[in-house]
């Protein structure tokens, strides 16, 4: 039996020596990947398991502890590109705890070490463990002089120029701070910034990043600080190195002083007095975790009193006064049982991996999206490799899945060593699995490249496309019909009864009439009942008059989302004008076509999709039937010519007191303005209510015009 599968208690001394050698090599390998290349190969949990096994064997055979044991090292040796910085005080690591019992043991060991009785209460701080990179920032006489990464704990890398680009980190401290101050904390990338960056990479056809931590690490290791500056890194201060003078005598108060000095500190840090309170805070932080805009992987507990910290001191690589209570890992290994194809409203075939259920970060994951044919092959949107050596995904493969926040789980990589001998490359279907029509990848006319999406050509014939269309039609931003959810649509669609069937949108509005003459009563069908049927009819009838943009959006024209629908409604005013213009634009030339393309925010691809939609007689037929049931209202036309804000991009921020956000948006749009969610160089006006923060700051920074609610009202009233 290989030594690695033998329980620690059963190891002979020879086995133990072999095992420790293996573990030293393996941990060093993963350290190098993690710290040096920012490309981890195994999950954090598995890495921790290796280290724990090493610790357990060493505890049993202390004589075998190796010079190069992972227990003697912190992180990896610094990489060569940056100048080395020897830390004035070593940057230590934290011991990990994984269970409530571990935490109780930690607290008990602190009491024991200090010779305290349980009734002589010791306070602890508890705060999130930020999943970023630790940084030591040194200030002399109030000025930032050096910033260094942890490196091997003794020597780090000098990344001062890069750290200076981080807005959140003060370059100067207020008067009166100690002459030497070394603030330590975590540099990280916000989840939202990470997603935005990846979106941009995707739009540019570049390879996307794996997670915020690696991206932050990569961003810091840039030799060109301009690249770092473009990456929006952030910082939380939570510790310190050398201090010529200690400004407070507890952990909590020192960190609060850091806040006064201008450092961001984590708002979830608390000072607590009992194990029960500590564990309750751990649970609370765990619950908040999905909503935080940064990744955390546990909660750090520290003895609050600095005097007691001093007394407790350090073991070889970690303090005795602190521990990290880790969350269950958010990556896991599992196997691909099947690959299924889902067919969407526009006919797109999306492959989904059905996985052997696995818990990832406390949530059971059974599916992961595989996006498209190329993704399964290991290729990105521009044909670039997205996995090591273009690993493709096959049924039967063992894969690493990751769940980041609320995002749909992703397959990170394939464990090639575990691929079954008979696993064949996945053959992407050539026909729609629902209706059997041909499924094709269109070629982009301009670039000549194949589109990444494979589409069913069945159109209305395809049950999947038809039901997805209906589900879109009744969805919240379209017709918003309460009581008609996905389940009900499937039921009505499949129904064989003429008086119950809903196959197209107009059928929704004729249902009540058809029911009146029928013997098969909806209220007698399980899951409906008299009251809910009454409510359903009321909900349907309420939508017989509908805003034009909702009507257009509900049609489900490819590429026409809510914003485009609003642009169309605003430009054409009435449905009749719009439909007539689309018909006229059919040759893809002439005035009507040019007018459509001239609408700001509508590009050629979108314009073409709309015109093509109206060329399909079946679409026109369904809409005509729909129009005998439903009346789209005339859109409020912008008073474009004499509105002082027409064509301007406006951002509302802060808590608005004079109007609701929706109201402000609608009004601005009706005056021909575009309302945006974030401030950029393209913003013309920022309207700030009380409590406005970063958006207002950004506007000022960019020299964008800012005003309060009253000034805005005065402006639009002329």
Q: Which single residue is written with the structure tokens 């990947």?
A: 33
Instruction: In whole angstroms, give the CA distance from residue 385 to residue 589.
Output: 40
Whether 150 has a binding-site annotation, put simply, is yes
Whether 462 has a binding-site annotation, put simply, is yes
Q: Minimal distance in Å, beta carbon 94 to ligand IVH?
A: 4
Determine if 169 is a binding residue for ligand IVH (CB under 6 A). no
Residue 293 is classified by DSSP as S
Instruction: Let me know if 166 is exposed, middle or buried by CB neighbors in 10 A (0-12, 13-18, 19+).
Output: buried
Select which of 25, 37, 129, 449 is catalytic: 129
Whether 48 has a binding-site annotation, put simply, is yes
Reference 214, options 365, 23, 404; nearest CA is 404
Whether 45 has a binding-site annotation, put simply, is yes
Residue 32 is classified by DSSP as I
Q: Which lies closer to ligand IVH via its Cβ, residue 92 or residue 552?
A: 92
Determine if 85 is a binding residue for ligand IVH (CB under 6 A). no
Instruction: In whole angstroms, give the CA distance from residue 674 to residue 646.
Output: 8
User: Candidates 34-42, 124-132, 337-345, 642-650 — which segment interacts with ligand IVH by CB under 6 A?
Assistant: 124-132
- Here's the x/- map for ligand IVH, 196-235, by CB under 6 A: it reads as ----------------------------------------
Determine if 157 is a binding residue for ligand IVH (CB under 6 A). no
Q: Which of 134, 254, 454, 683 binds ligand IVH (CB under 6 A)?
A: 134
202 alpha carbon, distance to own chain's centre: 15
Determine if 92 is a binding residue for ligand IVH (CB under 6 A). yes
Whether 127 has a binding-site annotation, put simply, is yes
Whether 435 has a binding-site annotation, put simply, is yes
Q: Minimal distance in Å, beta carbon 209 to ligand IVH?
A: 20
Reference 393, options 376, 406, 379; nearest CA is 376
Determine if 27 is a binding residue for ligand IVH (CB under 6 A). no
Whether 302 has a binding-site annotation, put simply, is yes
Strand 649-653 relative to strand 674-676, pairing: parallel
Residue 631 host element (H or E): strand 631-632
Residues 6 or more apart whose CB falls under 8 angstroms from that of 25 comprise: none
Determine if 110 is a binding residue for ligand IVH (CB under 6 A). no
Instruction: In whole angstroms, give the CA distance from residue 192 to residue 64.
Output: 47
- Residue 186 φ/ψ, nearest 5 degrees: -115, 130
Instruction: In whole angstroms, give the CA distance from residue 348 to residue 311.
Output: 64
Q: Which of 209, 235, 238, 258 binds ligand IVH (CB under 6 A)?
A: 238
Determine if 130 is a binding residue for ligand IVH (CB under 6 A). yes
Determine if 300 is a binding residue for ligand IVH (CB under 6 A). yes
Tally Cβ neighbours within 10 Å of residue 417.
6
Q: Minimal distance in Å, beta carbon 361 to ligand IVH?
A: 17
Reference 227, options 217, 237, 235; nearest CA is 217
Neighbouring-strand partners of residue 272? 124
Residues 6 or more apart whose CB falls under 8 angstroms from that of 594 comprise: none
Q: Which lies closer to ligand IVH via its Cβ, residue 312 or residue 464?
A: 312
Determine if 304 is a binding residue for ligand IVH (CB under 6 A). no
Determine if 129 is a binding residue for ligand IVH (CB under 6 A). yes
Determine if 712 is a binding residue for ligand IVH (CB under 6 A). no
Reference 238, options 219, 264, 218, 216; nearest CA is 264
CA dihedral 175, 176, 178, 179 (to 10 degrees): 60
Determine if 239 is a binding residue for ligand IVH (CB under 6 A). yes
Interface of this chain with ligand IVH, residues 321 to 380, rule: CB under 6 A = 322, 324
Number of residues binding to ligand IVH, judged by CB under 6 A: 15
Determine if 186 is a binding residue for ligand IVH (CB under 6 A). yes
Residue nearest to ligand IVH (CB): 134
> Can you tell me whether residue 392 is helix, strand or coil?
coil
Q: Which single residue is written with the structure tokens 């990338």?
A: 189
Asked about 129 being catalytic, the answer comes back as: yes
Residue positions in the annotated binding site for NAD(+)? Answer: 44-48, 93-94, 127, 150, 186, 302, 326
Q: Just list the catalytic residues.
A: 129
Residue positions in the annotated binding site for Zn(2+)? Answer: 432, 435, 462
- List interacting residues with ligand IVH (CB under 6 A): 92-94, 127, 129-130, 134, 150, 186, 238-239, 300, 319, 322, 324
């Amino acid at each position: 039996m290989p030594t690695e599968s033998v329980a620690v208690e059963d190891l002979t001394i020879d086995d133990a020596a072999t095992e420790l050698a293996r573990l030293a090599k393996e941990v060093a390998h993963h350290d190098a990947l993690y710290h040096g290349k920012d490309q981890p190969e195994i999950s954090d949990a598995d890495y921790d398991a290796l280290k724990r096994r090493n610790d357990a064997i060493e505890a049993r055979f202390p004589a075998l502890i190796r010079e190069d044991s992972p227990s003697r090292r912190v992180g990896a040796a610094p990489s060569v590109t940056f100048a080395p910085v020897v830390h004035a005080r070593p940057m230590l690591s934290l011991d990990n705890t994984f269970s409530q019992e571990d935490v109780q043991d930690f607290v008990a060991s602190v009491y024991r070490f200090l010779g305290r009785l349980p009734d002589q209460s010791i306070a602890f701080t508890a705060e999130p463990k930020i999943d970023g990179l630790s940084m030591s920032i040194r200030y002399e006489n109030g000025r930032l002089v050096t910033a260094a990464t942890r490196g091997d704990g003794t020597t780090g890398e000098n990344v001062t120029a890069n750290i200076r680009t981080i807005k959140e980190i003060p370059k100067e401290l207020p008067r009166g701070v100690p002459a030497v101050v070394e603030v330590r904390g975590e540099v990280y990338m916000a989840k939202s910034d990470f997603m935005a960056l990846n979106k941009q990479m995707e739009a540019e056809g570049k390879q996307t990043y794996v997670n915020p931590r690696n991206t932050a690490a990569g961003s810091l290791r840039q030799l060109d600080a301009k690249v770092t500056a473009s990456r929006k890194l952030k910082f939380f201060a939570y510790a310190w190195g050398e201090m010529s003078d200690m400004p407070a005598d507890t952990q909590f108060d020192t960190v609060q002083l850091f806040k006064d000095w201008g450092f961001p500190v984590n708002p979830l840090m608390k000072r607590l007095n009992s194990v029960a309170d500590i564990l309750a805070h751990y649970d609370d932080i765990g619950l908040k975790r999905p909503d935080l805009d940064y990744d955390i992987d546990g909660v750090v507990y520290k003895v609050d009193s600095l005097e007691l910290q001093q007394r407790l001191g350090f073991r070889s690589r970690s303090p005795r006064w602190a521990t990290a209570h880790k969350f269950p890992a958010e990556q896991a290994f599992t196997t691909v049982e099947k690959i299924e194809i889902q067919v969407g409203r526009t006919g797109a075939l999306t492959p989904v991996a059905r996985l052997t259920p696995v818990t990832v970060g406390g949530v059971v994951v059974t599916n992961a999206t595989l996006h498209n044919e190329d993704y399964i092959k290991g290729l990105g949107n521009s044909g670039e490799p997205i996995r090591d050596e273009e690993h493709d995904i096959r049924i039967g493969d063992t894969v690493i899945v990751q769940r980041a926040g609320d995002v749909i789980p992703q397959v990170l990589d394939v464990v090639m060593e575990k691929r079954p001998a008979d696993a064949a490359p996945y053959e992407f279907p050539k026909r729609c699995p629902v209706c059997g029509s041909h499924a094709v990848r269109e070629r982009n006319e301009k670039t000549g490249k194949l589109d990444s999406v494979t589409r069913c050509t069945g159109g209305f014939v395809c049950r999947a496309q038809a039901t997805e269309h209906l589900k879109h039609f009744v969805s919240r931003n379209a017709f918003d019909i309460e009581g008609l959810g996905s389940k009900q649509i499937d039921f009505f669609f499949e129904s064989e009864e003429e008086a119950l069937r809903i196959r197209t949108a107009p059928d929704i509005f004729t249902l009540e009439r058809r029911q009146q003459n029928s013997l098969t009563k909806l209220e007698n069908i399980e899951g409906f009942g008299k009251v809910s049927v009454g409510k359903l009819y009321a909900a349907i009838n309420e939508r017989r008059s509908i805003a034009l943009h909702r009507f257009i959006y509900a049609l489900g024209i490819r590429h026409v989302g809510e914003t485009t629908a609003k642009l169309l409604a605003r430009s054409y005013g009435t449905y009749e004008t719009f439909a007539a213009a689309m018909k006229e634009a059919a040759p893809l030339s002439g005035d009507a076509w040019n007018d459509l393309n001239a609408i700001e925010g509508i590009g050629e691809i979108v314009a073409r999709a709309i015109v093509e939609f109206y060329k399909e007689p079946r679409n026109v037929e369904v809409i005509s039937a729909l129009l005998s049931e439903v009346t789209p209202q005339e859109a409020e036309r912008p008073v474009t010519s004499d509105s002082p804000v027409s064509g301007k991009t406006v951002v509302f921020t802060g808590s608005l007191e004079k109007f609701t956000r929706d109201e402000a948006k609608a009004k601005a749009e009706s005056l021909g303005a575009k309302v945006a969610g974030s401030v950029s160089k393209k913003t013309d006006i920022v309207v700030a209510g009380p409590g406005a923060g970063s958006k207002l700051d950004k506007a000022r920074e960019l020299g964008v015009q800012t005003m309060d609610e009253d000034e805005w009202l005065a402006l639009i009233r002329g």
